[in-house]
Chains A and B, each alone.
Chain A
Amino acid sequence: MTDQTAGQDMIAADGMPLKKSLAKSLQREKMRALMLIAPLLIFVLITFIFPIGSMLFRSVENSIVQDTLPKTVVALQDWDELSGELPDEAVFTAFVEDFIIAVENKEHTRIGSRLNYEVSGMSSLFRKSARKVKKWDPVQDAPFRDKLIDVDKDWGDPATWSIIKTHSVKYTNGYFLNAIDMQRTAEGAQAQPEDKQILIKLFIRTVKMSLIITGMCILLGYPVAWILANLPNRSANMLMILVLLPFWTSLLVRTSAWKVMLQNQGVINDTLVWLGLVSNDARLEIINNQFGTITAMTHILLPFMILPMYSVMQTIPPSYLRAAKSLGATNWTAFWRVYFPQSIPGIGAGSILVFILAIGYYITPEIVGGTDGVFISNRIAYHISSSLNWGLAAALGAILLAVVLVLYWAYDKIVGIDNVKLG
């Protein structure tokens, strides 16, 4: 208290109050620190945060309908899509006006593709109609209602107009609904038909299998890390190379190698048949299914588990175990009560690394996963590169990101994130 009151009157060498001067120099220091990390910050912002943000934004962005068919969207406001009747002539006129401009700008097929994500057939409806509609004059050729229905009978179906109206909002929840096997309809959110529901199943499978893979990595990695940490340095380094060697080999090569090992006529099956353990016509199915994916991915991700475990175990003094035993603990008690708790930070770090890598895996499940070993990322890849439905891909990615963050949060609650160490 007395210090503070005294501090108010204190003057620095240049005649400024000390407090102000101090604050100023602290400020300067902060700025300097900021300047130092600025290149990295800007780099991360430009190459990481911004692209991810703009990709995630696609999951709700839907301005294409409004931008391409502005008059139609306004005219459709007054139409009740649940009435089961066709919209009136004003809508048809507005649509033809919009459509002629869209065809001129070559945008009609883009909106066709967009609406085709919702209902099959829209793509060709827009493409085919353009050939006739572009020859029309918006004033002389009116009225358009019957003419348009003549071009394609689908224009006479209220469902077509309902789709346009339902998906004309600028920001839509449609992609997120699709991502959880639902759809945006005139009557609100509804479940997809059962024979098209697959995404939730894939999400659950992805998380479940990633957890299994993480568990397998812990089981296999722990003893290896323990041996590495307890060997003399020279032999430990040799063994370390064996751990790192597969790490430096291409992912594709390792996955293909598993194919050679696991396939029906592969090394493992051939050996088992040769040993007489398996009969020739009952070879084991150990690839193109979940087993194949788990095996290959456990192998591929194992180094990510061993390395943090090893570096944490190296910091545990061996004298602790000796002390426990000298105080009467059995081998198991000494390990379980003294050693293991100290190695948990390494398990935590390894698990987080392996789990997060596994949940986004794509190539390995695609190659060895068959039908029941593929992940949600394989669907994301399909929508990015084949169907071009980037909105849905972004929504799927956003959900996957949210799942990881939730699990991370849960981990923090249960184990504590301070309890994670890389060495």
Chain B
Amino acid sequence: MKFTKTLLATTALTVAAGAVAAQEMTIVSWGGAYSKSQLKAYHEPYSAKTGVTIINDDSSAEAVAKLRAMNEAGNVTWDVVDVVAADAMRLCDEGLAMEIDADTQLAPAPDGTPASEDFGDLLVSDCFIPQIVYSTTFGYRTDLVGDTPPTSVCAVFDLENYPGKRSLEKRPINNMEWALLCDGVAKEDVYDVLETPEGQDRALAKLDTIKDSVVWWSAGADTPQLLADGEVIMGSTYNGRLFSVIEEQKQPVAMLWDAQVFDLDGWIIPAGLSEERKQRALDYIYFATDTQRLADQAKYISYGPARASSAPLVGKHEELGIDMAPHMPTDPNNAKNTFLYNYEFWADYRDDIDAKFQAWLAK
């Protein structure tokens, strides 16, 4: 009898311990200020509401490769992963991410608009739940560009009026589009031109005119640092990075929103999770991507919420107390001339054009 009791007690304890351990989930993101904004806007309220402990893992930069390796090993340890839309597409294609039905698995807008309409075109992949709209755009040193600050993206290619170094990302994406735009290709034709070998050569030829004045970056923090050090007079990076250089560090830098390229960042749930973990991940996603939560994130970082219904709710920066709406890439003043990144195109041509681009760089 005593033995049975002990056994029962032990079993109960084990089950309880198991339940406690199960109340944990690992969320993967980019680290830095971005992860912090998610911690404040999503993780903390979610933990308070459900008691689930959230473990942060800053591995988004290698998420695609790591997820594939985990999947092959049959041991996926991540529950929710933050990736850019292009990576989400790749993961979806490889069968590494779970498909999501927006209308049944995501929260509707407060007025009842189904999620699929609220997110609209931003649902670029069946596996992807958009979170923010960010843009890759240029910042310039206000003190180093002379009396007429640049107003057009083509200033990047104008060495005569804006001599000095500029920093560009060490990959073809975005650079090829800007080169074609400034070489006289109409916005709507850019990808048609870029699809042909002649068009690719044309873009590279345009980039060739400034090649000697370019510092190539590979981490998002590079351009802000180069601008702050005066190493470059202008450079491309993510708009949130420029926001912190301008507003938080008060450097003499200004934004050149012209021809900013919109891109998306959001969540995926890895394929092959156990039913229990899958349900928890879905529950988190339902909570973290509702209208209020997406608007809350904009208090901490200058990226636009991906839901149409969140835009009116965007308030002031939590620490600086400045209005965040004018710093959003989607703000009408900033979005006078924008460029939408073509995911399908780059999914197809990325490797091919990248090989050409790297060969051109090495020339």
A113 x B90 contact (CB < 8 A): yes
A112 x B93 contact (CB < 8 A): yes
Contact with A along B333-363 (1 / 0, CB 8 A): 0000000000010011111111110111110
Binds A, one of B17-25, B26-34, B62-70: B62-70
A109 x B231 contact (CB < 8 A): no
- Any chain B CB within 8 A of the CB of A379? yes
A201 to B344, CA, bound (A): 31
- Any chain B CB within 8 A of the CB of A59? no
Question: Given the interface contacts A109-B95, A366-B218, A385-B64, does A263 sit within 8 Å of B229 by beta carbon?
Answer: yes
- Any chain B CB within 8 A of the CB of A382? yes
Within 8 A of B (CB), among A199-214: 201-202
Instruction: Say how far B295's CB is from chain A's closest CB, in angstroms.
Output: 32
- Any chain B CB within 8 A of the CB of A141? no
Max chain A Cβ within 10 angstroms of own Cβ: one of B61, B94, B355: B355
A117 x B351 contact (CB < 8 A): yes
Q: Which residues of A contact B344 (CB under 8 A)?
A: 124
- Looking at chain B's contact residues, is the secondary structure mostly helix, strand, loop, or mixed? helix
Binds B, one of A39-47, A328-336, A386-394: A386-394
Q: Which residues of A contact B361 (CB under 8 A)?
A: 371
- Any chain B CB within 8 A of the CB of A384? yes
| A-B pairs, 9 with minimum CB distance | A109-B93, A198-B359, A120-B352, A385-B65, A371-B361, A196-B355, A120-B349, A387-B351, A124-B348
B362 x A388 contact (CB < 8 A): no
Looking at the complex, which one of A127, A201, A265, A385 makes contact with B231 (CB distance below 8 Å)? A265
Within 8 A of B (CB), among A289-339: none
- Any chain B CB within 8 A of the CB of A372? yes
Q: Which residues of A contact B350 (CB under 8 A)?
A: 387
- Any chain B CB within 8 A of the CB of A423? no
Looking at the complex, which one of B94, B201, B215, B230 makes contact with A195 (CB distance below 8 Å)? B201
A288 to B361, CA, bound (A): 12
B93 x A379 contact (CB < 8 A): no
Question: Given the interface contacts A116-B351, A120-B351, does A197 sit within 8 Å of B92 by beta carbon?
Answer: no
- Any chain B CB within 8 A of the CB of A132? no
A197 x B351 contact (CB < 8 A): no
A110 to B89, CA, bound (A): 11
Q: Give the bracket for the number of chain B residues in contact with chain A.
A: 35 or more
Looking at the complex, which one of A109, A202, A288, A382 makes contact with B94 (CB distance below 8 Å)? A109
Q: Which residues of B contact A288 (CB under 8 A)?
A: 215-216
Q: Which residues of A contact B95 (CB under 8 A)?
A: 106-107, 109-110
- Any chain B CB within 8 A of the CB of A264? yes
B362 x A202 contact (CB < 8 A): yes
Q: Chain A residue with minimal CB distance to B93?
A: A109
Interface residues contributed by chain A, number (CB under 8 Å): 38
Instruction: Say how far A264's CB is from chain B's closest CB, in angstroms.
Output: 5
Residues on B lying within 8 angstroms of A by beta carbon are: 61-62, 64-65, 68, 90, 92-95, 165, 170, 201, 215-216, 218, 229-231, 344, 347-356, 358-362
Q: Which residues of B contact A371 (CB under 8 A)?
A: 170, 216, 361-362
Within 8 A of B (CB), among A362-394: 366, 370-372, 374, 379, 382, 384-390
A196 to B204, CA, bound (A): 13
A372 x B362 contact (CB < 8 A): yes
Instruction: Say how far A14's CB is from chain B's closest CB, in angstroms.
Output: 51
Q: Which residues of B contact A374 (CB under 8 A)?
A: 362
- Any chain B CB within 8 A of the CB of A172? no
- 18 CB < 8 A contacts A-B: A109-B95, A113-B93, A116-B351, A120-B349, A121-B348, A121-B349, A124-B344, A127-B93, A195-B360, A196-B355, A198-B355, A198-B362, A288-B215, A288-B216, A384-B65, A387-B354, A388-B64, A388-B65
- Any chain B CB within 8 A of the CB of A173? no
A384 to B92, CA, bound (A): 17
A123 x B231 contact (CB < 8 A): no
Instruction: Say how far B354's CB is from chain A's closest CB, in angstroms.
Output: 7
A120 x B230 contact (CB < 8 A): no
Instruction: Say how far B342's CB is from chain A's closest CB, in angstroms.
Output: 11
Instruction: Say how far A385's CB is from chain B's closest CB, in angstroms.
Output: 4
Instruction: Say how far B138's CB is from chain A's closest CB, in angstroms.
Output: 19
Max chain A Cβ within 10 angstroms of own Cβ: one of B354, B359, B360: B359
Q: Which residues of A contact B351 (CB under 8 A)?
A: 116-117, 120, 387, 389
